[in-house]
Structure 1
Amino acid sequence: MTSGRDRLIEAATRLLTESPDREPSNRELCDAAGVAAPSLYHHFGTKEGLLDAVVDRAFGAYLKRKRGMLRTGDLVADFAAGWDLHIEFGVQNPVLYALMYGTRATSSAARTADDRLRKALHGLRDAGLLRIDVDTAAAMTTAMAVGCVTQLNRERRRADDPFATAMRSTLLETVTGLPASPSEPEFAARALVAHLEATSEGFTAPERALFQQWLRTIADTTRTVQDGQHQ
């Protein structure tokens, strides 16, 4: 049986998605969840606490997918793949994304995402691949990602729109000084691996494992061919 806490989070998510231009009232939230008002205060203290919990859950789903990304050992390529996953999540969850990077940008989940971004940037710096300081690179990455998602959602474009690809290339060239020309088959394979590891829908466990192995082979083969061409 679903708890009152979970019902409130699910109701808030649904109401925010249905009416993205306004926050639902306490009464609307409780009515939609089928709970009495004291339940909201008991679990979250205030409506603000409930909305923070909605953001935390959304960020949790995003971070779970990010942890499932196929790592290649190429720090720049992995950073670019992280950008692609971020943009895809923002386009697939426009209302929650607007909350996450808007009025709820100081939530614990937002801080966790920022910590992970800085960890990746520190890795680039330690490998001699970052040509600007970490603070500037973090601010630039977040600003460009939020701006990219906002524009894509405003114009109802897809996450793989050429505009998003151009933004990614501009960011990578700015923070690393390296030309950004990733292999689309390699990135597509990595994105599918991340998706499969984050969901169990559509495949049995053996089917999912086999499909993931095929995708990893595609990504590794593409990387090997590229490295041979650059030698």
Structure 2
Amino acid sequence: MASGRGRLIEAARSMLTEQPGRVPSTRELYEAAGVAAPTLYHHFGDKDGLLQAVTDEAFAEYLERKRAVTRSGDLLVDFAAGWDMHVGFGVENPALYALMYGGADHQSAAAQTAEAELRRGLERLADAGLLCMGVGEATAMTTAMAIGCVTRLVHDGGSATGPLAKRMRSALMSELTGRPHELGSSEHAGALLLARLGSAPELFTSAEEALLRQWLRTLIEHVAPSQDAPEQGAKE
């Protein structure tokens, strides 16, 4: 059986998920957890402390999922895969996402780590000469566009893989790099699939995933370049 602390966190998550946009009262929280008020005060200080603990746990889950996204070796494809993972997490967990990015200045270690990892990804783009602005500005722009995208999708009941999310991703990457950006070629499509495999480990067995990775690498390294290149003699 979960401890009083664990039961309070579980109850808070459940209530926030079942009633999005409504913050339960302190009494509702400890009664839903099946504990007395002093248990909540002992572990969290007050209701805000409990909600901060839920937020910290959500960021920890977010980071675990982000780190499971496999890198393809293409910095732009990897950045796009990170965007897809972020938007997907937000759409699947709207109540938790609202706590994570609802405007409060969260200073938890997990929140700081999430921002630091975004900055590192953008620094890699800058080091490769792919970023046309400062890393600080790029971090703020990426965060703002991601939050706006998730908020709109949740409001509309949209999909994290639908046209809006893809167009906003392309718009962001165009702003960051200073050039039009589309992941439409077969090479980029294969690299993007490879990068995203780690975010859905339950879909395949180990043998199936290894085989799929082998096929995708073959597509990226051998098939795609010849298909995407113009035919020899086309301009002769």
TM over 0.5: yes
Structure 1 runs of 4+ with >3 Å offset: 183-186, 225-231
Q: Say which one has the larger Rg.
A: 2
* Contact 2:78/2:195 (<8 A) preserved: no
Read off the aligned partner of 2:211 and give its amino acid letter: W
Q: Could you tell me which residue of structure 1 aligns to residue 218 of structure 2?
A: 221
Q: Could you tell me which residue of structure 2 aligns to residue 180 of structure 1?
A: 181
Counterpart-to-counterpart distance in 2, 1:105 and 1:179: 33
Listed as ranges, the gaps of 5+ residues in structure 2 are: 231-236
**CA shift at 1:178, angstroms?**
4.1
Read off the aligned partner of 1:163 and give its amino acid letter: L
Read off the aligned partner of 2:46 and give its amino acid letter: T
Counterpart-to-counterpart distance in 2, 1:105 and 1:161: 30
178 and 143 in structure 1: CA distance in 2 versus 1, 3 angstrom threshold: same
Q: Could you tell me which residue of structure 2 aligns to residue 79 of structure 1?
A: 79
Mapped pair 1:157 → 2:158 = yes
After TM superposition, the structure 1 = structure 2 runs for residues 65-76 of structure 1, keeping only pairs within 5 Å, are 65-76=65-76
**CA shift at 1:106, angstroms?**
1.6
Counterpart-to-counterpart distance in 2, 1:48 and 1:64: 24
After TM superposition, the structure 1 = structure 2 runs for residues 31-50 of structure 1, keeping only pairs within 5 Å, are 31-50=31-50
* Contact 1:69/1:193 (<8 A) preserved: yes
Counterpart-to-counterpart distance in 2, 1:117 and 1:47: 30
* Contact 2:10/2:33 (<8 A) preserved: yes
**CA shift at 1:87, angstroms?**
0.5
Q: Could you tell me which residue of structure 1 aligns to residue 124 of structure 2?
A: 123
* Contact 2:9/2:50 (<8 A) preserved: yes
**CA shift at 1:72, angstroms?**
1.2
Counterpart-to-counterpart distance in 2, 1:97 and 1:227: 39
* Contact 2:91/2:150 (<8 A) preserved: yes
Counterpart-to-counterpart distance in 1, 2:65 and 2:104: 21
Listed as ranges, the gaps of 5+ residues in structure 1 are: none
**CA shift at 1:112, angstroms?**
1.8
**CA shift at 1:44, angstroms?**
1.2
Q: Could you tell me which residue of structure 1 aligns to residue 30 of structure 2?
A: 30
Secondary structure of the corresponding residue to residue 176 of structure 2? helix
* Contact 2:77/2:191 (<8 A) preserved: no
Counterpart-to-counterpart distance in 1, 2:35 and 2:78: 44
Counterpart-to-counterpart distance in 1, 2:41 and 2:219: 54
**CA shift at 1:34, angstroms?**
0.8
Secondary structure of the corresponding residue to residue 197 of structure 2? helix
14 and 42 in structure 1: CA distance in 2 versus 1, 3 angstrom threshold: same
Secondary structure of the corresponding residue to residue 133 of structure 2? coil
**CA shift at 1:62, angstroms?**
1.4
CA RMSD of superposed structures (Å): 1.9
**CA shift at 1:128, angstroms?**
1.2
**CA shift at 1:86, angstroms?**
0.3
**Sequence identity (%):** 52
Secondary structure of the corresponding residue to residue 16 of structure 1? helix
Q: TM-score, normalised by structure 2?
A: 0.87
Q: Could you tell me which residue of structure 1 aligns to residue 101 of structure 2?
A: 101
Q: TM-score, normalised by structure 1?
A: 0.89
51 and 215 in structure 1: CA distance in 2 versus 1, 3 angstrom threshold: farther
103 and 50 in structure 1: CA distance in 2 versus 1, 3 angstrom threshold: farther
